Structure formats: C-alpha cells, structure tokens
Amino acid sequence: MRQTNLISVPSGRFLLPFNIYRFNDKIISPEISEVTRMKKRFYITTPIYYPSAEAHIGHAYCTVMCDILARYKRMRGVETYFLTGTDEHGEKIQKKALEAGVTPQEYVDNIAKKFQDLWKAMKISNDDFIRTTQERHTKVVQDIFTKLYNNGDIYLDKYEGWYCTPCESFWTDTQVGEDHLCPDCHRPVHKASEEAYFFKTQKYLPDLLKAMDDNPKFILPIARKNEMMNTFIKPGLNDLCVSRTSFDWGIQIRENPKHVIYVWMDALSNYITALGYDSDNHELFDKFWKDPDTEIVHVVGADISRFHVIYWPMFLQGLGLRYPDRIFVHGLLDLNGEKMSKSRGNVVSPLPLIDRYGVDAVRWFLAREFAFGSDGRFTPELFAERTNADLANNLGNLVNRTVAMVNKYFEGVTPNISNLGEKEQNIRELTENTIKSYEILMDDLKISEALTKVTDLLNAANKLIEDRQPWNLAKEGKTEELANVMAVLVNTIIVSAKLLSPVLVESAEKIFDQFGLDEKQRSYELNKEFCPFSGTKLTKGNPLFPRLDIKVETEFIQSISK
Ligand code: MSP
C-alpha cells in the first residue's frame, strides 16, 4: 500500500527539487507509480539491427540508452549482462547483397563489423554481440521451431495477403486500408500468396492479456500498451506467418527445407540463443533467464514493439519459458523533422560527431535531450546548444572554477568541513536528495529525468559560487567559510560525476583524476557519504568541454547529414 508521508523539511531552510514521498522504506517522487525492486541480476538487450545499411544516430540512440542502464546497474553492484547484435537474414538483405554483387554472408559480414566498430567508438559495454548467422543461433532456432511444431503451436497452410517487403510482413485488408499502405512504415504493399507455416496466437492470448493487466510495468511507457491493444489485439489478432518459400536467405526448417524461418521468429530468439538456451553451454541462460531474480528488460523502438509485446511472449510460453519483466518501447528520432532514412539521404552518422565533439557529448545529447519513451527531433542546433548548456557552461564551468579556486586558496588540497552555513547545508541536502531521486528514476528507466536531477544540482552549485563569492571571502580573510564552500563544491562535483558516469564515460574519470581520487574513492557507494574527500590533492586538467560556436557547429553537423 502506498503511504504518502511528506519528508519533514526544516521550513525555509531548503527547497526540495520536487515533492518527495516515502513508500515503505524508500523515497519516491510522485511521478513514479510504484517503487521498482532491484533484483539480483539484470539482463538488458537492444533490438538486433539489420545490417542492410550502416548504423545511424537512431540505432546509436537505443544502444547508448541500454548501455547507460547496464553501466548504472553494474555501478549499483547488480550482476549485469548486456546483449546487442545484428539480424542478418531476410529478403531485403538478400536483395541488397545481389545489388552489391556479393554473397549475403559477405554483405552482412562487412556491415556487422561496422556496427561492432561503432559500438567500440561509442564505448558501448555490451557483454556479447550476437549475429543470427552464427551457428550457435541457427541450430537452436531450428530446434525452437521443431519444439513449437511438435507442441501443435505451428501448422502448415497457405498465405494470401498484402505483403510489405521492407517490413517483411503480411497484412490484412483492414490493416492496409483503401490506400494499400503498410500500417507500420506506411509504404505501399502488394498482394502475395505462398505456402507457409503459421503460429497460433489465440492459444496464448489470454495469458498474455492477463500478464499485461497484472503487471503494469510489463510494457512501458503505459501508452504503448494501449496502442498495442487498440491497434493490434482488439481488432482481432491473426495467426503469425513464420516461414517463407519465396527466398532462401534464412534458417531452413529441418522438417521442410524449402521453407526458411520467417525473420521475426529467427530474430526474436536471439535473446535466448545468445545465452546458450538449449545448448550444452547454458550457464548464462540459467542465470540470466531462468532465475526469477534476474530482471529481464528488452528495449525496442516503437517501430517493432508489436513483435516484442505480442509474439515474443507467446513463443516463450510455447517453449515453457518465462516472459521478460519489461519491454520498454522508446520513441524514434527524426532529423530536422523528417524520418531518418539512408535511401532518402537523411541520416547522421555518430562517427564524425564523436571525432569532433568526443564520445561523451554524443552520449549526453542522446540521453538528456529526449525523454526516454517519447519521439524526438535531432537538429544540429539542438546538439550544439545542449552541449554548451549542460557540458560547457554547467558541468565544465563548475569544475574549472572549483579546481582553480581550490588551487588558489588552498594550494590544491580539498579543505576540511566544519560548521556548514545555511547555503552550503542546502547544497548538501540537495546532493543527498539528488542521489535518492536519481536512483529511483534510473531503476524506473527514466534516464533523462534522472540526468536532469543531476544538472539541477550542478546549477545549484554554480549558483552557490555566485551567492557566496569565494573571492570576497578570501579577501575578507573568512578562511573557514571559504573552506566550507570549497569542500561542498568539490563534494557536489564528485557525486555528480559518479551519477553521470554511466553516460559521461570519459569525462567522469577525468574529473576523478583532476580531484585526485584513488580507485576506492571512485566507488559509487562511497560517494554517497558526504565529503569523504578532504585532503585529496587536485591536479589541473584541461577544460573538459570547450564552448561551441553554435553557428559554426550547426553548419558542420548539417554538412555531415546525408
Ligand atoms: N532487425 C529488427 C529488430 C529485431 S529485434 C529482435 C529491426 N532492425 S532495425 O535495424 O530496423 O532496427 C530497429 C531499431 O533501431 C529500432 O527498433 C530502434 O530501436 C532503432 N532505430 C532505428 N532507427 C531509429 C530512429 N530513427 N530513432 C530511434 N531509434 C531508431 O527492426
């Protein structure tokens, strides 16, 4: 039961960043419906991307968000496994390879490598990279098909319907409407007919609906669940076509080799084949899937939520396996208001951005600019403005000023704290509350909101400098007050750097270096203590984030969008 006792706050002393409530022994903010219990382990996955073209900022968005969550959980001491990969079969890839004059395998080898290189450049901490052409996957997918077939979940029939080649999906008359457009990608569809295997959806639908009702966090954000219900389930769910005979770049069905397994059954299975499901090497599967004390989170874009929310749980049930805990559906980014698409010459590659601004600026922009779950617009101006506002002016400026002042007034050694004044005390309390709300928001996958709490804290610390004017305290010989201000600033920076470290993977370390922290002092739990760092010796580093000229950078980013 939810209790809503406001935390007592000494009146007038401290303005809370937002209303905070207690729930059992945890503190929650009103925007959070229910506290998420942290499980012992965490398994997080991105969609496996089509290596039909090179990755763009949209693919990077999803992967970075998952990486932030994986790094956050590891920082909290949760045993974490983070999977990404490439989805390499299907008609579209076969056609692309033909156009390029190479075999499909050569084609995907080349692009899968580029995805992997990009993730390295973006400092993605994935534990594995699955490719659906690997034997560890293909063999198990054949077994999965056989199991479901033997269960009576799959039957052979003939398919006649509207086919969307880019989405590799068949649609009904009602779904394509009078314009005959794909309901997912809105491109024209064509009539097609072929012998195919089908997966029975009605058998598992009642259990799926029950799970959706029983667990309000199964599909997030909640609006996505309603979308699934209204668009796909309520109008009547068809059985799902799970094989093709019109092309052969896919996993053959053992029982009937002229069929290949339709790409979604192949693709979705990656989440368990990568863990060693149904193989001799199933230790990871036992730990990260079977054990109910593992929180399983699939993060997917809104374009593919249907497959994850409806069919994947059904396949799992057919195999006698548990559902994932959460399917988080993130929004799609467009570029200057237009859908990103390589063929339209309308994509931004992350690599030139990383080269020019550093990996942290790119990661930061993606994580902070867009509310995770909502659609977003990438524009060159937004990128430059966001980098300046948060990284150069707020964080960077605070670090530079604090380091300079501790060097000037205390010979580079963080001073001790004595009796804090009111303003310093307020920052201390704000710091402690920021940690609490950050953790709750991150556990609830509200990444951008969690980061905003930290930037609010940094703003407050910058304001402390304006309010207390340390240079005047120094002039007036108020050494103790000056020491308190400096120590509080140092502490705020270190705590913020730790909270931001899942995003700012390079800069957080640079900050710890500048503030002279040893390995132990960098640990997350220690940073929750207030000011344990007096006596550390600061070193002068280079400014973390140079201020950008918005006009020049806007032109640059525009020039690399193609
Ligand atoms: N191969 C399937 C997924 C199979 S998962 C079992 C696929 N691949 S994809 O290459 O098209 O990638 C889709 C995912 O990439 C989206 O769901 C989304 O996570 C990410 N994005 C691709 N373009 C994007 C944007 N423009 N904006 C945000 N994310 C985007 O579908």
- By C-alpha distance, which of 557, 558, 513 is closest to 539? 513
Distance separating alpha carbons of residues 269 and 140, to the nearest angstrom: 9
Instruction: Report how far ligand 1's centroid is from the alpha carbon of 90 (Å).
Output: 15
Closest C-alpha to ligand 1, atom 18? 301
The DSSP code for 346 is: B
Residue minimizing CA distance to atom 23 of ligand 1:
58
Per-residue pLDDT, 36? 60
Q: What is the DSSP string of 53-110?
A: S---HHHHHHHHHHHHHHHHHHHTT-EEEEEEEE---SHHHHHHHHHHTS-HHHHHHH
- How many angstroms is it from 55 CA to the middle of ligand 1? 10
- Amino acid 125 reads S
Q: What is the pLDDT of residue 532?
A: 63
205: nearest Cα among 172, 248, 174, 236: 236
517 Cβ below 6 A of ligand 1: no
Q: Residue 130: enclosing H or E segment and its boundaries?
A: strand 128-131
Distance CA 142, CA 256 (A): 11
* Phi/psi-derived region of residue 516, left when phi > 0, alpha when psi is between -120 and 50, beta in every other case: left
| 324 touches ligand 1 (CB under 6 Å) | no
How far does residue 497's CA lie from ligand 1's centre (Å)?
Answer: 31
Which is the closest atom of ligand 1 to the Cα of 267?
A: 6
Q: How far is the CA of 49 from the centre of ligand 1 (A)?
A: 6
CB 462: neighbour CB atoms within 10 A?
19
Its pTM stands at: 0.90
Reading the block at residue 172, the tokens are 């009904």
- The one-letter amino acid code at 105 reads Q
Whether 131 lines ligand 1, by a CB cut-off of 6 Å, is no
Residue 153 DSSP code: -
Question: Other CB atoms closer than 10 Å to residue 434's CB: what's the count?
Answer: 23
DSSP-derived secondary structure letter, 303: G
Residue 118 belongs to what H/E stretch?
helix 104-121
Q: Which atom of ligand 1 is nearest to the CA of 268?
A: 6
Identify the sign of the CA torsion 237, 243, 247, 251. positive
Report the atom number in ligand 1 closest to the C-alpha of 47: 5
pLDDT along the chain (562 residues), means of 10: 30 30 38 61 98 93 98 96 98 94 98 98 98 98 98 93 82 89 90 92 96 94 93 92 92 97 95 98 98 97 96 98 97 89 82 97 97 94 97 97 96 90 94 95 96 98 98 96 95 95 97 92 74 80 90 94 80
Q: Tell me how far the alpha carbon of residue 334 lies from the centroid of ligand 1, in angstroms.
A: 13
User: What distance in angstroms lies between residue 48's CA and the mean position of ligand 1's atoms?
Assistant: 8
Answer yes or no: is the C-beta of 62 below 6 A from any ligand 1 atom.
Answer: yes
Ligand 1 in reach of 57 Cβ (< 6 A): no
Burial 288-305 (b: 16+ CB within 10 A, else e): bbeeeebbbbbbbbbebb
Q: Using the atom order of ligand 1, give the atom closest to the CA of residue 330.
A: 19
Provide the residue type at 52 as one letter. Answer: S
Contact call for residues 536 and 516 (beta carbons, < 8 A): yes
**Res 169: pLDDT:** 76
Q: Tell me the one-letter amino acid at 561.
A: S
Question: How many angstroms separate the CA atoms of 402 and 540, rounded?
Answer: 11
188 CA from centroid of ligand 1 (Å): 20
Q: For residue 530, what pLDDT is reported?
A: 63
- In this prediction, residue 174 carries a pLDDT of 86
Q: How far is CA 51 from the centre of its chain?
A: 20
Select from 511, 392, 364 the least CA-distant residue to 68: 364
Give the ligand 1 atom nearest the CA of 308.
Answer: 6
CA 70, CA 82: separation in Å to the nearest integer?
6
Q: How far is the CA of 316 from the centre of ligand 1 (A)?
A: 22
> Which residues lie below 8 Å from residue 407, measured CB to CB, with a gap of 6+?
538, 540
CA of 62, closest atom in ligand 1? 19
Ligand 1 in contact with 538 (CB < 6 A)?
Answer: no
- Confirm or reject: Cβ of 304 under 6 Å from ligand 1: yes
Ligand 1 pocket, mutate which of 69, 119, 269, 303 (most atoms under 8 A from CB): 303
CB 440 within 8 A of CB 32: yes
Query: Ligand 1 mean position to 304 CA, how many Å?
Result: 7
Which residue type is seen at 281? N
Q: Are 114 and 54 a contacting pair, CB within 8 Å?
A: yes
Structure-block tokens of residue 232: 């796909």
Distance of alpha carbon 315 from alpha carbon 8, whole angstroms: 50
Ligand 1 atom with least separation from CA of 340? 26
Structure tokens at 386: 């966001």
Residue nearest to atom 13 of ligand 1 (CA): 49
The backbone torsions φ and ψ at residue 155, rounded to the nearest 5 degrees and listed phi first, read: -140, 160
Mutate which of 304, 327, 348 to test ligand 1's pocket (most atoms within 8 Å of Cβ)? 304
CA 62 to ligand 1 center in whole angstroms: 8
4: burial class by Cβ within 10 Å (0-12, 13-18, 19+)?
exposed
Distances (CA, A) of 264 to 169, 304, 311, 357, 414: 9, 10, 9, 37, 57
87 touches ligand 1 (CB under 6 Å): yes
Q: Which of 495, 490, 499 is nearest to 534 (CA)?
A: 490
Contact (Cβ atoms closer than 8 angstroms) between residue 200 and residue 149: no
Q: Compute the distance between CA of residue 513 and CA of residue 97 in angstroms, rounded to an integer.
A: 48
Closest-lying ligand 1 atom to the alpha carbon of residue 52: 10
Q: Which amino acid is at 287?
A: K
CA 545 and chain centroid, separation:
24
466-471, Cβ contacts within 8 angstroms, sequence gap of 24 or more: 467/423, 468/423, 468/424, 470/405, 470/409, 471/405
pLDDT of residue 458: 98
Q: Is the CB of 61 under 6 A from ligand 1?
A: yes
3-state secondary structure 468-531: HCHHHHHHCCCHHHHHHHHHHHHHHHHHHHHHHCCCCCCHHHHHHHHCCCCCHHHCHHHHCCCC
Nearest Cα to 241, choosing from 322, 297, 157?
157
The DSSP string of 432-455 is HHHHHHHHHHHHTT-HHHHHHHHH
At residue 8, the pLDDT reads: 29
Q: Which two tokens stand for residue 284?
A: 């990871």
Which residue has the least CA distance to atom 6 on ligand 1? 268
Instruction: Choose the residue to mutate in 45, 46, 49 for probing ligand 1, maximizing ligand atoms within 8 Å of C-beta.
Output: 49
- Residue 296's SS3 state is strand
Cβ distance 325 to 220 under 8 Å? no
Q: What are phi and psi of 164, to 5 degrees?
A: -105, 110
Token digits for 453? Answer: 């709490």
DSSP class of residue 2 equals -
The answer to whether the CB of 49 is under 6 A from ligand 1 is yes
